[in-house]
Structure 1
Amino acid sequence: MPELIVVANRLPVEPVYVDGDPDQEITGWRLAPGGLVSALESVFRTEEAIWVGAGSELLDVDHGNLHLETVSVDARDMHDYYEGFSNSAIWPLYHDAVVTPVYHRHQFRAYERVNKAFASRVAEIAQPKATVWVHDYQLQLVPSMLREMRPDLSIGFFLHIPFPPSALFAQLPWRRQILEGLLGADLIGFHTHDDARQFVYSCERSLGLAAYEGTMRVNNRRVGVGAFPIGIDAEGFSATAATPHVLERARQLRAEMGSPTTVLLGVDRLDYTKGIDIRLKAFAEVLQDERLDAATTVFVQVAVPSRENISQYQQIRDDIEMLVGRFNGSLATFGATPIHYLRRVLEREELIALYLATDIMLVTPLRDGMNLVAKEYVACRNDDTGALVLSEFTGAAQELAQAWLVNPYDTSGVSEAIVAAAQAPDDERQRRMTAMRSTVFATTAQTWAREFLTALRTGIASAHASVEDDRDQASIPLEQLASSQHLLVCVDYDGTISNIVTDPDAARPVPEAVEALEMLRDVPNTSVAVVSGRALDNLRTVSAMPDGIHLVGSHGAEVDVPLELDPSQRRLLDQCTAAASELVAQVPGAFIEAKPGSIAIHVRQCEPKAGANLIRHIVMGPGRYPGVLGRHGKEVIELSVAHAQKADAVRALRQRFDASTVLFVGDDLTDESVFADLSGQDVGIKVGSGESAALWRVESPQDVALLLQRLAQERSTFAV
């Protein structure tokens, strides 16, 4: 039996028509290209898998290692679950409520019943300890339902749309049920760090769960939360774009448009989140102002029909078609129609030819989880030509920073970006496109699938297996540590071996802790390190650690030697510093601590409400810059352009010293990545109160000093 089960609302199939004509009879079914099928193709080549989706009958499809299983759903339940709760409540809510979500109890009950049907089918067919990967917003209750039915399974969940801000998510009447449903998974994946953080904030707000970098503890289990940006089959798009008949078709398309000087293109599902109406207005504004010539400029908008039985979709279709008619009526001349509107699905090769015929690609949704159209366009530009105008509210904007980024709500800003892209010198367009292509080919659909499944099946999945939380009852296993073959002792600094003080530069280590670390350093086969979020030079100054004790600064970015940023990282850090400085200047008591690869904004001396508001503005301001990683600590937020974490440093030290066992002691949120990464005979100890992935706990830095002294004595005894 296959060890991998993919669970999605739909089966990955499409109809086969007589003579390929959609108006003709359906003669069979085939696997649909693109999407999850492309992402998982490399996996299916090496292992058998089952795909579970809604359907009334098992379709006869040639699928090799992929087996299809259907879930039968009552027609009324399907309507209330899909058109109802999924797409009238969850979809608009998760897209920043660009239209008002509608909440009906009977629709949520149908959503529960359908999710349970999916979970029951998977529980029935899954072999022991199989891997189950659940996909998207329609099935958010499946992980917890399946966990209850089959606790032996390794369960992953990936959300393909954005996750809303916690304040917005809080309006959902069934917010607890959704969050608890998702937390049944071992690993929950999102496209971006922003989305992952919003999920974490919602868990803190609605469930009272403490959340840390990459992990949270739920019912004696550790649940991983991370960003896994999805890609496309870049090589496949590039290869198709290079075929002679597609290149010839691109030339034909341009000729059929009247051989315009500039061709712009939008390709979207006909959805109110895509911003098609604003895009049309921005284009019309450019022509009306004569910044581009209406006689030699063409905009092609491909609108793929979607959910046409939902009223909001009918309304946006009517609005867009009215705008197309109005603008063409006022801007067209004899022989030149500026807007070409196609409400249909294009075949893959026709779409790629259209990408090649286009000078400027417009991707301006109001909100989007990723948006793969932008990546498809870039992948097809084998000659590094073309320009991309991209909404900053897409996941793709965090990867394709060289695009002309726009606020899609700003019609004038979109217009200006269109003109800037049209008038940009060829070398600038080429430079931007070359950089974007490098990104698109490095993060493909295949790498996305492999990274998620590897995280689920190996490191993260094993770290999140059920464990008994006996940290408050059991004694710390000092004898086990003392007798290990090679022991690596790592301790955080502030709050762990040094008391928290108002002035960070006045923080000095507890003398007994330093003495104990020296004793451990001198024991054979024992390595000692202080792992801190402080800059390495600052850590060296304030701690005054004796020689032979290794120092790790900047959350793992500096191991014994200072960090050096590249020019782009330096520019980004300068931008963050400037933006944060403006915010900090308005809050008495707040100050910025500069580090080699980051800045830390401290609010320990602020009035509590003012400090919390400042951190919120930092997170929503420079904390959202592409390439910036935000880390929350105790009354501090750190913005880093060097994306190391303490777990990386401890892992590197373990390998460097060939350590068989690790002891890690820490007190802060940033230490949780290490606790979650420990395994085997390793020991993690949390200092102070609060939820933690560590299995043991002490109360204060003074307790840490006593613990280290006892360990040093026992370790010395074993070494004799």
Structure 2
Amino acid sequence: MSRLIVISNRVSVPKAAGAAGAQGGLAVALNSALREHRGIWFGWSGQETEEFTGHLDMQRNNGVTTATIDLEPQDIDEYYNGYANRTLWPLFHYRIDLTEYDRNFGEGYERVNARFADSVLPLIEPDDLVWVHDYHLLPLGSMLRQKGVKNRIGLFLHTPWPPARLLVSLPFHERLVSSMLEYDVIGFQTAEWLGSFLHYVDKEMGLDVNEDGSIDYNGRRIVARAFPIGVDYKEFVEGGQSEEAKDAYDHLKASVRGRKVLIGVDRLDYSKGLGERFESFNRFLADNPDQAANVVLLQIAPPSRGDVASYQQIREDLERKTGHINGAHADVAFVPIRYVNRGYPRRQLAGFYRAADIGLVTPLRDGMNLVAKEYVAAQDAEDPGVLILSQFAGAALQLTDALQVNPHSIEHVSETIKRALEMPVAERRRRHEKLLASVRDEDVVHWRDEFVKTLFGKQDVEAGETAA
């Protein structure tokens, strides 16, 4: 069996189950995949070095081999804080008003991608499958090709892909997309993001897009397809039955003293719609004074990208909104919003999810959103909570039995909170059963197998044939 070489911006070194803080969806998904494919996870360590040497720090923890490099401060500033998070991230989330175009950012992005290519090259053996992840490394496949790598290389994008009319605002957008066409497989979270990519390739580059979504380019056929990511369902459910989860459940239940709980768990990011969420909850409290003292919103929001000004601003805005709402609706023994700027281990989160009557997942734009799926997996089937889900999250296409909302509409979200709190148990069970089937059947293993099968499946196909 071919090894799997996973390449991403950051590498999460696995630890004992439940021992680490909250992990992102990419870390949870890939650890599971790598254990079964005796693979290597390569990327940036998150550490700085005065001078880049390309030195690899190799480790093996909990069945996963990792290889990391350190980056220079200029690399981090231009590639990560700059092009990745001040140019591509806002643009890909439709926030062209926050998108910054700086030539130094672009140069740093290409320089670090070239450093990734140089550093990972010695690790790649002839039969390996190479799986590159996310917007940080879009041109990496092209750079590996330039160095003679003939392996099958796939790219999976965890973010949305913007409409062509937004993407063309990016300087050198065609060069960026052309570099992506050196991959053999390009994966997207949803059919919507895939459709936006294919529309660009067709209208802006004039390339042939076949009925199966494959693209003919320079004598090659590239497969572009949607692969919706899932959670590690089995592991998450087992973790939810642990003592840590039970203690978290009991602690939250005891602290709210019989009140209904709404929960949000999001990185501190403007794409998550946290400001709009708080305003919607404030509207609910104002419109339903008879229920205001009986409902608590627990918002867990670990900070991220603190060196980027827009992230500093969202934190300040949320702190101000929290103070305003709590000041207007609290009394000496109760505050309606518990706003927590820290992460929690996944087992504790499972307990919190199970204790919550409503999962409030309302991003303004999201590639997928695994919190929605984790919330569903954590529920008691006999007395499940209600998932309120943004129609602009990728997960909305799968989780159609959630109460879907327009997060920009304060009134709509407020009214949906009321509906969720009043929903009869029979309807909650019926919705949860269908949601759980999707989460269970389209889990991370399904996602991994579908992508790797597609990446591997063309290996024996003669040139020019259509992939299965």
What SS does the aligned partner of 1:388 have? strand
Task: Return the alpha-carbon distance in structure 2 between the equivalents of residues 99 and 462 of structure 1.
Answer: 46
Equivalent residue pairs, number: 456
Match of 1:39 in 2: 29
- The one-character-per-residue Cα deviations of 1:158-182 (angstroms, maximum 9, x if unpaired) are 0001000111111111211210121
Larger CA deviation: 220-229 vs 334-343: 334-343
Give the drift of 1:366: 0.2
User: Structure 1 residues 343 and 14, CA, compared in 2 at 3 Å: closer, same or farther?
Assistant: farther
Task: Return the alpha-carbon distance in structure 2 between the equivalents of residues 233 and 81 of structure 1.
Answer: 31
What letter is aligned with 1:50? I
CA contact (8 A) 1:175 1:206 kept: no
User: Structure 1 residues 135 and 317, CA, compared in 2 at 3 Å: closer, same or farther?
Assistant: same
Task: Return the alpha-carbon distance in structure 2 between the equivalents of residues 37 and 343 of structure 1.
Answer: 20
Asked if 1:161 is matched to 2:159, the reply is yes
TM-score normalised to structure 1 length: 0.61
Match of 2:414 in 1: 415
Match of 2:88 in 1: 90
Match of 1:358 in 2: 356
CA contact (8 A) 2:15 2:61 kept: no
Task: Return the alpha-carbon distance in structure 1 between the equivalents of residues 261 and 305 of structure 2.
Answer: 29
- Residues 468-483 of structure 1 correspond to what in structure 2 (within 5 A)? none
Match of 1:130 in 2: 128
CA contact (8 A) 1:71 1:117 kept: no
Match of 1:8 in 2: 8
What SS does the aligned partner of 1:269 have? coil
Give the drift of 1:241: 1.9
Match of 1:707 in 2: none
- Residues 59-70 of structure 1 correspond to what in structure 2 (within 5 A)? 59=57, 61-63=59-61, 66-70=64-68
Give the drift of 1:351: 1.3
Task: Return the alpha-carbon distance in structure 2 between the equivalents of residues 325 and 51 of structure 1.
Answer: 42
Asked if 1:326 is matched to 2:331, the reply is no
Task: Return the alpha-carbon distance in structure 2 between the equivalents of residues 461 and 199 of structure 1.
Answer: 24
Match of 1:282 in 2: 280
Match of 1:76 in 2: 74
What SS does the aligned partner of 1:146 have? helix
What SS does the aligned partner of 1:250 have? helix
Aligned with residue 41 of structure 2, among 30, 48, 51? 51
Task: Return the alpha-carbon distance in structure 2 between the equivalents of residues 65 and 343 of structure 1.
Answer: 31
- Residues 289-368 of structure 1 correspond to what in structure 2 (within 5 A)? 289-290=287-288, 293-368=291-366
Match of 2:52 in 1: none
TM-score normalised to structure 2 length: 0.92
- The one-character-per-residue Cα deviations of 1:384-432 (angstroms, maximum 9, x if unpaired) are 5100100000110000000000011111111111111111111111111
Larger CA deviation: 247-256 vs 297-306: 247-256
Task: Return the alpha-carbon distance in structure 2 between the equivalents of residues 31 and 124 of structure 1.
Answer: 32
- The one-character-per-residue Cα deviations of 1:138-173 (angstroms, maximum 9, x if unpaired) are 000001111222242100000001000111111111
Q: CA RMSD for the aligned pairs?
A: 2.3
Give the drift of 1:47: 3.5
CA contact (8 A) 1:41 1:446 kept: no
Match of 1:395 in 2: 394
CA contact (8 A) 1:12 1:31 kept: no
Task: Return the alpha-carbon distance in structure 2 between the equivalents of residues 196 and 443 of structure 1.
Answer: 19
Structure possessing the higher radius of gyration over alpha carbons: 1
Aligned with residue 190 of structure 1, among 183, 188, 191? 188
Task: Return the alpha-carbon distance in structure 2 between the equivalents of residues 461 and 32 of structure 1.
Answer: 37
Task: Return the alpha-carbon distance in structure 2 between the equivalents of residues 411 and 3 of structure 1.
Answer: 49
What letter is aligned with 2:117? A
Task: Return the alpha-carbon distance in structure 1 between the equivalents of residues 23 and 35 of structure 2.
Answer: 15
Give the drift of 1:210: 1.8
Task: Return the alpha-carbon distance in structure 1 between the equivalents of residues 215 and 281 of structure 2.
Answer: 46
Task: Return the alpha-carbon distance in structure 2 between the equivalents of residues 677 and 377 of structure 1.
Answer: 36
Match of 2:144 in 1: 146
CA contact (8 A) 1:258 1:336 kept: no
Task: Return the alpha-carbon distance in structure 2 between the equivalents of residues 37 and 311 of structure 1.
Answer: 26
What letter is aligned with 2:168? A
CA contact (8 A) 1:391 1:397 kept: yes
Give the drift of 1:130: 2.1
Give the drift of 1:5: 0.9
Match of 2:381 in 1: 383
What letter is aligned with 2:104? H
Aligned with residue 209 of structure 1, among 159, 182, 207? 207
Match of 2:221 in 1: 222
- The one-character-per-residue Cα deviations of 1:434-462 (angstroms, maximum 9, x if unpaired) are 1100100001111111110011001x454
What letter is aligned with 2:29? A
What SS does the aligned partner of 2:334 have? coil
Task: Return the alpha-carbon distance in structure 1 between the equivalents of residues 154 and 76 of structure 2.
Answer: 24
CA contact (8 A) 2:22 2:343 kept: no
User: Structure 1 residues 79 and 454, CA, compared in 2 at 3 Å: closer, same or farther?
Assistant: same
What SS does the aligned partner of 1:8 have? strand
CA contact (8 A) 2:299 2:339 kept: yes
Asked if 1:676 is matched to 2:466, the reply is yes
What SS does the aligned partner of 1:424 have? coil
What letter is aligned with 2:44? A
CA contact (8 A) 2:223 2:467 kept: no
CA contact (8 A) 2:245 2:352 kept: no
Give the drift of 1:66: 3.2
- The one-character-per-residue Cα deviations of 1:641-676 (angstroms, maximum 9, x if unpaired) are xxxxxxxxxxxxxxxxxxxxxxxxxxxxxxxxxx62
Task: Return the alpha-carbon distance in structure 1 between the equivalents of residues 132 and 95 of structure 2.
Answer: 24
Match of 1:452 in 2: 451
What letter is aligned with 1:438? A
What letter is aligned with 1:329? G
What SS does the aligned partner of 1:304 have? coil
Give the drift of 1:41: 4.5
What letter is aligned with 2:92? Y
- The one-character-per-residue Cα deviations of 1:511-564 (angstroms, maximum 9, x if unpaired) are xxxxxxxxxxxxxxxxxxxxxxxxxxxxxxxxxxxxxxxxxxxxxxxxxxxxxx
Give the drift of 1:36: 3.9
Give the drift of 1:65: 5.1
Task: Return the alpha-carbon distance in structure 2 between the equivalents of residues 446 and 281 of structure 1.
Answer: 37
- The one-character-per-residue Cα deviations of 1:34-81 (angstroms, maximum 9, x if unpaired) are 634543455434442121111366557443653322234322022100
CA contact (8 A) 1:31 1:61 kept: no
- Residues 594-613 of structure 1 correspond to what in structure 2 (within 5 A)? none
* Higher RCO (CA 8 Å, separation ≥ 6 residues): 2
Task: Return the alpha-carbon distance in structure 2 between the equivalents of residues 160 and 455 of structure 1.
Answer: 17
Match of 1:247 in 2: 246
What letter is aligned with 1:180? S
- Residues 518-557 of structure 1 correspond to what in structure 2 (within 5 A)? none
What SS does the aligned partner of 1:54 have? strand
Task: In structure 1, list runs of 5 or more residues that go unmatched.
Answer: 21-29, 468-674, 679-720
